[in-house]
Amino acid sequence: MSLSFAITGKGGVGKTTLSSLLVRQLLAHGMKPVLAIDADPNSCLDAALGLKATSTVGGAREEVRQEAQAGTVTGISKQEMLQWKITESLVESAGFDFIAMGRPEGAGCYCYANNILKSIITQISGQYPFLVLDNEAGLENLSRRIMQQVDVMVIVSDASNAGLQTIVRLHGLADEMGIRYKKLILVINRLRNGELPARMEEIRLATGAERVVALPDDLTVATFSEGSRSMLELPDDNPVVLKIDELIASLSDATS
Ligand SMILES: Nc1ncnc2c1ncn2[C@@H]1O[C@H](COP(=O)(O)OP(=O)(O)O)[C@@H](O)[C@H]1O
Ligand SMILES: [Mg+2]
């Protein structure tokens, strides 16, 4: 089987935490190799996975651009060089690999490189049956930079009214951008009293989401993150870990 996830939501809602825990529980279910893609320039999925990434795809693109401008590379070797640099920025770990997209291109669009980039990323990600993509809320990476199709789209939010509105907005944005997914899952993170907001079912129906997952606000998760500790080191019986485990188990039953 194969399973790809794209995680989105506004800043600070728990996308990176959730992404790292999805990687963790995919591995726990023997669903590997996993490719974890950090597609949020403001993110540090590498730290959440206990890694340190020193280079990014965006960095590779800039280096090749500069070398091309300096006239040191020409023609086909430009593509080869980009491919090589991107492959070099892959970080290998136990059961999963990691790649960071880095910053998107600046003002002067380097479309040639972006097209090559997309094909290289498509080629790399095609080698992994399991994918977890930690996205920014703009969805740009999903719509044109990396992939337009995933199995499971996850929108994360807090339980506030504004958060719920963002869910509806992001759902609309994904549709507008032509992002295709088989299932939509809504995650309400950091619940303090365990109760989902009263409007939740209305939001679920409005977005066509298959289910809503409630994650508790957990002191251990927060403490790990403050200490830059890997989410892979959380105890197996951590309440947030258990919830993600349930989710992965239900998806593997449905798709196997
Ligand atoms: N369920 C949770 N319980 C406690 N703290 C959490 C939980 N989920 C996320 N956090 C904390 O919230 C902060 C933001 O989470 P993060 O995953 O970085 O969000 P995002 O990637 O959406 O910006 C981090 O400090 C993280 O540890
Ligand atoms: Mg993040």
Among 23, 141, 156, 225, name the best residue to mutate to test ligand 1's pocket (greatest count of ligand atoms within 8 A of Cβ).
225
158 lines ligand 1 (CB under 6 A): no
- Strands (DSSP E) contained in 27-178 are 34-39, 91-92, 96-100, 130-135, 149-157
Q: What ligand 1 atom has the least distance to the C-alpha of 218?
A: 3
Instruction: Name the pairing type of β-strands 149-157 and 96-100.
Output: unpaired
pTM of the model: 0.94
Dist CA 211 CA 8 (whole Å): 16
pLDDT at 149: 85
The rounded Å distance from CA 20 to ligand 2 centre is: 10
The rounded Å distance from CA 252 to ligand 1 centre is: 25
In the block, residue with structure tokens 């080629």 = 123
Q: Which among 8, 9, 40 is positioned nearest to 162, based on CA atoms?
A: 9
The rounded Å distance from CA 69 to ligand 1 centre is: 41
Instruction: Name the pairing type of β-strands 180-191 and 3-8.
Output: unpaired
> Predicted confidence band at 121 (pLDDT cuts at 50, 70, 90)?
confident
Nearest-CA residue for atom 23 of ligand 1: 12
48 lines ligand 1 (CB under 6 A): no
Q: What ligand 1 atom has the least distance to the C-alpha of 226?
A: 25
The rounded Å distance from CA 12 to ligand 2 centre is: 7
| C-alpha of 143 from chain center | 13
Q: Which two tokens stand for residue 174?
A: 């994904």
CATH of the domain at 140: 3.40.50.300
pLDDT tens digits, residue range 37-77? Answer: 998 877 799 999 999 999 998 888 888 888 888 887 766 67
Q: What ligand 1 atom has the least distance to the C-alpha of 215?
A: 1
141 lines ligand 1 (CB under 6 A): no
> Predicted confidence band at 144 (pLDDT cuts at 50, 70, 90)?
low
pLDDT tens digits, residue range 174-199? Answer: 998 888 999 999 999 999 998 999 99
Classified as helix, coil or strand, 66 is helix
pLDDT at 74: 67
Domain ranges, residue 200: 3-255
Q: What ligand 1 atom has the least distance to the C-alpha of 20?
A: 17
Among 7, 10, 17, 24, name the best residue to mutate to test ligand 1's pocket (greatest count of ligand atoms within 8 A of Cβ).
17
163 lines ligand 1 (CB under 6 A): no
Tally of structural domains, the chain: 1
Q: Return the top range by mean pLDDT from 97-101, 113-117, 219-223.
A: 219-223
Give me the chain's average pLDDT, please: 89
157 lines ligand 1 (CB under 6 A): no
